[in-house]
């Protein structure tokens, strides 16, 4: 499958959705929850604010943000694939007091009004977009003046070195075999392909500045395996 092909990506995540949470827990040994918490902590959402979770998947971040901004705040969670969004809504049904609304839309062209949010997050989404720069531009458009945003994803590493060797070993020898066992080999083989076209940390910062962010910092997590891009509209 060609990374960045919108229809193929949507089909992929519809197919993966029923197994996504379990595989995520298994393959990261639960660490994805820790990285997501780090993302949220870095951005400090507070009660009463409005937040947007782009590429929300099954809703981990949207629900966590809902807990931070309740009771008077609001979260809009966006994904373009129906199956993960259905699962996110089912999870929300168990905690309907959280102020979260789920919307099916493209993260690059959400259709939401400009300056709609105090904060925007995107976890493991940017890499999948047809045009990551357009995704960052939309993220910038959605933020109010003073708004902040965070993008969490795999870290694109230089081709050689221990961290890159480990990443290749992990993706080829752990992720793909585990996914193959539940019939999702091709879908998870896509992960490594999608990383090949993904900008590295410095390129992401440059991209963020091009679309108007005054401040962009990228730091790696877990010995370089993951990357966290933190963005502010103002200095
Ligand atoms: C790897 S999952 C991450 C889900 C969730 N954010 C998480 O961290 O668990 C990527 C999600 O991005 C969604 N996605 C991919 N391209 C998208 C696009 N153009 N617009 C909106 N969502 C998109 C997929 O449907 C999928 O649910």
Helices assigned H by DSSP within the chain: 6-28, 31-43, 60-69, 82-93, 132-142, 162-169, 176-180, 185-196, 201-210
1 domain-assigned: no
46 domain-assigned: yes
| Separation of alpha carbons 30 and 33, rounded Å | 6
**C-alpha of residue 113 to centroid of ligand 1, in Å:** 21
| Separation of alpha carbons 3 and 190, rounded Å | 7
Q: Is residue 220 within 8 Å of residue 201, measured between CB atoms? A: yes
184 domain-assigned: yes
CA 44 to chain centre: 17
pLDDT given for residue 202 in this prediction: 98
**C-alpha of residue 80 to centroid of ligand 1, in Å:** 7
Count up the domains in the chain and report the number: 1
29 domain-assigned: yes
83 domain-assigned: yes
Q: Domain span at residue 88? A: 6-232
Query: What is the mean pLDDT of the segment spanning 206-212?
Result: 98
43 domain-assigned: yes
188 domain-assigned: yes
With a cut of 80, say whether residue 16 has pLDDT above it. Answer: yes
Task: Name the residue of 13, 153, 188 whose CB sits within 8 Å of the most ligand 1 atoms, as the mutation to test its pocket.
Answer: 13
Nearest Cα residue to 33 out of 12, 64, 55? 64
User: Ligand 1 site: residues with CB under 6 angstroms?
Assistant: 6, 9, 13, 55-57, 60-61, 78-81, 84, 106-108, 123-125, 128-129
**C-alpha of residue 57 to centroid of ligand 1, in Å:** 5
Q: Whose CA is nearest to atom 23 of ligand 1?
A: 55
For the segment 59-116, what is each residue's pLDDT rounded down to a tens digit?
A: 999 999 999 999 999 999 999 999 999 999 999 999 999 999 999 999 999 999 999 9
Confidence of residue 179 (pLDDT cuts 50, 70, 90): very high
For the segment 30-60, what is each residue's pLDDT rounded down to a tens digit?
A: 999 999 999 999 999 999 999 999 999 999 9
pLDDT given for residue 38 in this prediction: 97
Nearest Cα residue to 63 out of 41, 95, 86? 95
Report the CATH number that the domain containing residue 16 is assigned in CATH.
3.40.50.150
206-209 own/partner pairs: CB under 8 Å, 24+ apart: 207/132, 207/133, 207/136, 208/136, 208/140
Mean pLDDT (the chain) is: 96
Length of the chain: 235
3-state secondary structure (DSSP) of residue 174: helix
What pairing do the DSSP bridges indicate for beta strands 143-154 and 226-232? Answer: antiparallel
């Amino acid at each position: 499958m060609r990374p960045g092909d919108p229809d193929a990506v949507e089909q992929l995540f519809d197919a993966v959705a029923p197994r996504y949470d379990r595989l995520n827990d298994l393959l990261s040994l639960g660490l994805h929850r820790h990285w997501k918490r780090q993302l949220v902590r870095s951005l400090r959402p507070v009660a009463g604010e409005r937040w947007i979770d782009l590429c929300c998947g099954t809703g981990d971040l949207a629900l966590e943000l809902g807990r931070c901004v309740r009771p008077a705040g609001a979260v809009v969670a966006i994904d373009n694939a129906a199956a993960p969004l259905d699962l996110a809504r089912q999870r929300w049904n168990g905690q309907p007091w959280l102020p979260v609304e789920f919307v099916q839309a493209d993260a690059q062209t959400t259709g939401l009004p400009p300056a709609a949010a105090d904060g925007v997050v995107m976890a493991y989404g940017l890499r999948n977009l047809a045009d990551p720069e357009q995704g960052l531009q939309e993220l910038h458009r959605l933020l109010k003046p003073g708004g902040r945003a965070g993008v969490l994803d795999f870290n694109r590493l230089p081709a050689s070195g221990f961290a890159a060797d480990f990443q290749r070993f992990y993706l080829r020898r752990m992720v793909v075999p585990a996914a193959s066992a539940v019939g999702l080999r091709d879908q998870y083989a896509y992960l490594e392909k999608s990383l090949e076209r993904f900008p590295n940390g410095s390129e992401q910062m440059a991209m963020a500045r091009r679309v108007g962010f005054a401040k962009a910092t990228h730091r790696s997590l877990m010995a370089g395996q993951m990357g966290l891009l933190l963005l502010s509209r103002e200095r």
